[in-house]
Amino acid sequence: MPVISLLTDFGLSDSYAGIMKGVIASLCPDARVIDITHQVAPGDIYGAAYALSSACPYFPKDTIHVTVVDPGVGSGRRIIAVRTGAGIFLAPDNGVLSMVADKYRVSAAYSVENRDIFIHPVSKTFHGRDIFAPVAAYLACKMDMAELGPAVSEKSLVRLDYAQRPELDEKGRLCGSVIAVDRFGNLITNIGREDIEEAFGAGRADGQEDICINAGDRIIRGISESYSSVPEGALLAIIGSTGRLEISVNAGNAASQLKLGRKDRVTAAPCDAIND
Amino acid sequence: MPVISLLTDFGLSDSYAGIMKGVIASLCPDARVIDITHQVAPGDIYGAAYALSSACPYFPKDTIHVTVVDPGVGSGRRIIAVRTGAGIFLAPDNGVLSMVADKYRVSAAYSVENRDIFIHPVSKTFHGRDIFAPVAAYLACKMDMAELGPAVSEKSLVRLDYAQRPELDEKGRLCGSVIAVDRFGNLITNIGREDIEEAFGAGRADGQEDICINAGDRIIRGISESYSSVPEGALLAIIGSTGRLEISVNAGNAASQLKLGRKDRVTAAPCDAIND
Amino acid sequence: MPVISLLTDFGLSDSYAGIMKGVIASLCPDARVIDITHQVAPGDIYGAAYALSSACPYFPKDTIHVTVVDPGVGSGRRIIAVRTGAGIFLAPDNGVLSMVADKYRVSAAYSVENRDIFIHPVSKTFHGRDIFAPVAAYLACKMDMAELGPAVSEKSLVRLDYAQRPELDEKGRLCGSVIAVDRFGNLITNIGREDIEEAFGAGRADGQEDICINAGDRIIRGISESYSSVPEGALLAIIGSTGRLEISVNAGNAASQLKLGRKDRVTAAPCDAIND
């Protein structure tokens, strides 16, 4: 029986996430539901896209990933179901699947329009309950995706505009930005290990002292091997769990210490070039 | 195997909710547990009653719904188990089942007194662990409700005093109030679609421009078809997912914008009567 | 199929806890996962130790308890797997299992070093995903603990320094401290029912009026039978669900009313001795 993952901005104080699980348990009792998170900031499509693309590689390959961050609920926006090598993704067509689509080949996409599998009356404000949950349940119980509605082209899907990779400037510095801040205050950037190695040479991303990082008004010398490589309260740079450069504070919070957040600039370069 | 739903004010920072699940897994390993929410405000019986009555219609009809919002824990208050068409409800007898009982016929009610199925020693402060969880587990594993304790009459159950429906004033305005505020700041009122249609005519609740809503010091003209029917940041009224009139802000937060909350007054009327 | 419990400081806003569940579902699909909590304060080993030792007695005896509060992730700290009468405990060797080890006999302990069962590449920052989750999944699917790595002695495990029991001072007062504060603001102390009975006589811990409690600048007279034994808003002392003395406010929050928190001093004594 496939897993259904849920990723929403419903929070955990209201009953919305629980209701989706009630619908799924009613329609496909054997489906197993796993929460990715329900605490995406309200309407934060980008944050949801990041969380989804970070999490989906670690789920079973036949998972049905349901994302409901849907500020356009009740409008004419489409609901789409997309098949990839990382499972089926069900989401509003608002760009939230962009990062997944950049990572995995989309082998089929459908516009979810078959009202026979919705809960009626379909509300104007809670398609998580009335459309996403029953559709996920039917898919988990082996309904064919082609029954959801007409096939659509991958090119027709709404794309999020985001800086997937950093840029190399004329002085040879990798210019990236913060793409996520986690509970610990770690500043996760779009500078990948492979970006550093491509720009500065193989093996330059791990435990190197001659790569410097500029974040806010601070220069961090070297890329650490672990948080505790530096004293408590000290800043460090490290290759984090998604293979990207992160700025952290050992036993502290880099986001609040540096007053930086999503979209703020982070630069990496050989130390002799960082200040040029 | 029936589902057990959990609805408490235990929060998610302590281990209390997890402990209830540990007890259930110990006593009825095949039971499936679904959280409605654990983040009801401490002791907020009304909020729990609303969340429960909103959620239970979407769960399997043999669900065992466990509600532990229980400021009287350890006192003489009864614990009750109630059978309805929406499943079995287990709760302290403090009114938290009132909204469910107004929606579904109660076919049987029992006072939970059979100490043989409690965990001993029964603490004075955590009946969720010592009574509610084991009783739910035994019910899920097919114990008969009559074994819980003596049958009691529905009339003996504690009732919450709440404004289930709005009132029509002498000027023909529907005078209601906010009954819940969700994570998005949506102000959910006790004015139902059917109240509007009864008062102002069939079809007057959806997409109408000549019904006006008064909330705080603002007048909202018309009932929208979706959040995005109005510009971002603008107020709107909409029939929400429970069939009730809600006040929202597109891509914003109505509760903070209007500084309104539970019990605050909301009025609906034909636009020419709203200001009378 | 054993239960896997999860206890982390990952929070619920990021996808970290969901990712661990994705890994477990991938490697041992039948394992059942129960969250104890993911909202331990970042890096709070003591808080995790308390939550774990409070929760584990109520789980099935073959549960695999996974604790990831791991400020030393990526450093040389060991990861240990410990067998006790309350199940298997998997955790960083940083003291987080101290309270469990004080409660249950450790019958075997292993250093988790078998890289064949990790997810590769092993990140420097997220061993929850790359080590703890797959190891827990393999254990749930019946891998023998001896395959995890070399056996280690219980004495080699890192110990947390904490005040397990209160002390009796020269005036016959039990001098303890707050060990946890829960969502309700209850101040949970290290003064157990058995400490009170040992010091002041059998039966002196429940519903007694002649034991007085000193917390902050307040004296509480007597140990109550339930929260509602005192008026709303009033302070009380009560034996809580872990058998320890707690300071509470009926329908209120003792921590904020008294401005007390973890490690603050609480004293219990016969009332005529409390002020000496």
pLDDT tens, chain A, 276 aa long = 899 999 999 999 999 999 999 999 999 999 999 999 999 999 999 999 999 999 999 999 999 999 999 999 989 999 999 999 999 999 999 999 999 999 999 999 999 999 999 999 999 999 999 999 999 999 999 999 999 999 999 999 999 999 899 999 999 999 999 999 999 999 999 999 999 999 999 888 877 789 999 999 999 999 999 999 999 999 999 999 999 999 999 999 999 999 999 999 999 999 988 875
Q: How far is A256 from chain C (nearest CA, A)?
A: 14
Given an 8 Å threshold on Cβ–Cβ distance, is B36 in contact with A25?
A: no
Q: Please name each of the domains of chain C with its CATH number.
A: 3-156 (3.40.50.10790), 167-274 (2.40.30.90)
Given an 8 Å threshold on Cβ–Cβ distance, is B19 in contact with C58?
A: yes
Q: Is the ipTM of this complex over 0.90?
A: yes
Given an 8 Å threshold on Cβ–Cβ distance, is C74 in contact with A183?
A: no
Q: How many whole angstroms separate alpha carbon B247 and alpha carbon B261? A: 11
> A37 contacts in C (CB within 8 Å)?
12-15, 17-18
Which residues of B have a CB under 8 Å from any CB of C? 9-19, 21-23, 25-26, 29, 42-43, 71-75, 119, 123-126, 129-130
Candidate from B51, B58, B227 with C-beta closest to A22: B58
Given an 8 Å threshold on Cβ–Cβ distance, is C5 in contact with B19?
A: no
Given an 8 Å threshold on Cβ–Cβ distance, is C227 in contact with B75?
A: yes
A149 backbone φψ class: left, alpha, beta (φ>0; ψ -120 to 50): left
Please name every residue paired with C151 in a beta bridge, in sequence order, or none if there are none. Answer: C110
**A94, A124, A183: best to mutate for the B interface, most B CBs within 10 A:** A124
Helices (H), chain B: 16-27, 45-55, 98-103, 127, 133-140, 193-200, 254-258
Chains touching B (3+ CB pairs < 8 Å): A, C
Size of interface A-B (CB pairs under 8 A): 105
Helices (H), chain C: 16-27, 45-55, 98-103, 127, 133-140, 193-200, 254-258
> A123 contacts in B (CB within 8 Å)?
239-241
Candidate from C34, C239, C251 with C-beta closest to B21: C34
- pLDDT tens sequence across B190-218: 999 999 999 999 888 877 789 999 999 99
Given an 8 Å threshold on Cβ–Cβ distance, is A5 in contact with C19?
A: no
> A197 contacts in C (CB within 8 Å)?
none
- Report the percentage of chain C scoring pLDDT > 90: 93
By residue count, chain B amounts to 276
Which residues of B have a CB under 8 Å from any CB of A? 3, 5, 7, 12, 32, 34-40, 51-52, 54-56, 58-60, 63, 182-184, 186, 225-229, 238-241, 246, 250-251, 253
Q: How confident is the model at residue B156 (pLDDT cuts 50, 70, 90)?
A: very high
Candidate from C11, C71, C123 with C-beta closest to A183: C11
Please give the torsion angle defined by the CA atoms of residues C204, C206, C209 and C213, in that order, rounded to the nearest 10 degrees: 80
Given an 8 Å threshold on Cβ–Cβ distance, is C71 in contact with A251?
A: yes
**Axis crossing angle, helix A16-27 with helix B45-55, rounded to the nearest 10:** 30
- How large is the average pLDDT for residues C54-74? 97
Q: How far is C170 from chain B (nearest CA, A)?
A: 32
Q: How far is B260 from chain A (nearest CA, A)?
A: 18
- pLDDT tens sequence across A157-167: 999 999 899 99
Helices (H), B85-175: 98-103, 127, 133-140
- Report the percentage of chain B scoring pLDDT > 70: 100
> A22 contacts in B (CB within 8 Å)?
3, 5, 34, 55-56, 58-60, 63
Given an 8 Å threshold on Cβ–Cβ distance, is B125 in contact with C36?
A: no
Q: How far is A6 from chain B (nearest CA, A)?
A: 13
How many CA atoms within 13 Å lie on the side-chain side of C105?
2
Size of interface B-C (CB pairs under 8 A): 106
Q: What are phi and psi of B3, to 5 degrees?
A: -80, 145
**A14, A19, A118: best to mutate for the B interface, most B CBs within 10 A:** A14
B187 backbone φψ class: left, alpha, beta (φ>0; ψ -120 to 50): beta
Q: How far is CA A190 from CA A102, A176, A194, in A?
A: 14, 6, 11
Distance of CA A125 to the CA centre of its chain: 24
Candidate from C34, C184, C228 with C-beta closest to B72: C228
Q: How far is B39 from chain A (nearest CA, A)?
A: 5
Question: If you ran DSSP here, which 8-state letter would residue A117 be given?
Answer: G
Spatial contact of B130 and B118, defined as CB atoms under 8 Å apart: yes
Spatial contact of A140 and A87, defined as CB atoms under 8 Å apart: no
> A43 contacts in B (CB within 8 Å)?
251
What is the token pair recorded at A85? 């090598």
Given an 8 Å threshold on Cβ–Cβ distance, is B59 in contact with A14?
A: no
Given an 8 Å threshold on Cβ–Cβ distance, is C18 in contact with A38?
A: no
Q: How many whole angstroms separate alpha carbon B19 and alpha carbon B134? A: 11
Given an 8 Å threshold on Cβ–Cβ distance, is A60 in contact with C126?
A: no
Q: How many whole angstroms separate alpha carbon A84 and alpha carbon B187? A: 39
How many CA atoms within 13 Å lie on the side-chain side of B137?
21
Q: How far is B13 from chain A (nearest CA, A)?
A: 12
Q: How many whole angstroms separate alpha carbon B264 and alpha carbon B243? A: 19
In the numeric block, the tokens 């500029």 are attached to: A214
In the numeric block, the tokens 């309950």 are attached to: A129
- pLDDT tens sequence across C78-123: 999 999 999 999 999 999 999 999 999 999 999 999 999 999 999 9
H or E stretch at A16: helix A16-27
Spatial contact of B215 and B260, defined as CB atoms under 8 Å apart: yes
Parallel/antiparallel/unpaired status of strands B3-8 and B32-37: parallel
Q: How many whole angstroms separate alpha carbon A258 and alpha carbon A263? A: 14
CA quadruple C264, C268, C272, C273: dihedral positive or negative? negative
Mean pLDDT rounded to a whole number for chain B:
96
Q: How confident is the model at residue B276 (pLDDT cuts 50, 70, 90)?
A: low
- How large is the average pLDDT for residues C15-34? 98
- pLDDT tens sequence across C195-236: 999 999 988 887 778 999 999 999 999 999 999 999 999 999
First to last CA, chain A: 57
When computed from its CA atoms, the radius of gyration of chain C, rounded to whole angstroms, is 21
